Amino acid sequence: MSAVYPTASPSAAAARFTGRSVTGERPLSGSLTEVALDDGRTVMVKRGDGAGAARAEAAGLRWLAGSGTVRIPVVHGDDEHWLVTDRVARGRASAGAAARFGRDLAALHAAGAPAFGAAPPGGPEDAYIGLAPMRNVPGDDWPRWYAEHRVLPYLRGAVDSGTVRSAEAADVERICELLPVLAGPAEPPARLHGDLWNGNVLWGADGQAHLIDPAAHGGHRETDLAMLRLFGCPHLELVLAAYEEEAPLADGWADRVGVHQLFPLLVHAVLFGRGYAEQAVTAARAALRRAG
């Protein structure tokens, strides 16, 4: 006989969205719980940390899965508070899995988006990257859009909190002015995961990389790759080599990594403080030196 849980609980959400009885649950964090079902499966139940966060994440997962490229956990259901997905059985990060991931990521990006900043179908304009608000406002010019909607909002937040100093902010603002020159050749909007750090890449027992916790939107494909490099990734060079075999990157892309990392670094500065602000300023100043 299954246990009885309160209505507003991970187990109640799992039962409602899967149509199965619950036999147990195991909290993994304040917002994430494994829930065992009576058919032997285990699902992941996540509580949204902000208004609409669960729905935004679910829309992103479905949009990525709809490309038929990267592996995405099946979404069983979502509402204003809860998201229920399949659990990924964990394996190891093998060289073969890394190469497959690189090819699949290239195919995901090539699936495209209607515009830079385009939200996933059914996803809100006011979304999230981690715990930070992120607005999905469409634009057709990547340098202008990236400065206005991905760099400057978080720079202002970091300055307002005292995490970034005024003189440092001027260097980041100068990068935004120079983006038409620094951005490299124009590219069409790519379908981005949007928060592609190593913790959101799960290496499955099936020999595949599975992606979770997206901040999905239309953007520049180099942004996903820069974020993957920022916090490290097993077999990263194999991932990148396979990616380039599938979809070669524009000349000079390695020199633009720091420019694309400004977005996640400033988000982290807002959320976690001065150490990330220093990294953002270092990246900005290195790009300024390269620009002459």
Active site residues: 195
CB 26 within 8 A of CB 34: yes
With H, G, I as helix, E, B as strand and everything else as coil, classify residue 88.
coil
* 119-219-154-133 Cα dihedral, nearest 10 degrees: 20
Query: Residue 65's Cα: distance from chain center in Å?
Result: 14
Cα dist. 53→75, 79, 109, 182 in Å? 14, 9, 23, 33
Tally of CA atoms within 13 A in the half-sphere of 233 that contains its CB: 29
CA–CA gap between residue 95 and residue 192 (Å, rounded)? 23
Query: Is residue 110 classed as helix, strand or coil in its secondary structure?
Result: helix
H helix or E strand, kind and range, residue 59: helix 53-65
> CA 189, CA 115: separation in Å to the nearest integer?
6
Instruction: Tell me the C-alpha distance between 67 and 2, whole Å.
Output: 37
d(CA 35, CA 30): 14
Chain center to CA of 282: 23
Question: What is the C-alpha to C-alpha distance for residues 72 and 164, in angstroms, rounded to an integer?
Answer: 36
DSSP string, 210-255: EE-S---EEE-HHHHHHHHHHT--TTHHHHHHHHHHHSPPPTTGGG
Tell me which residue of 271, 284, 253, 289 sits closest to 151, measured CA to CA. Answer: 284
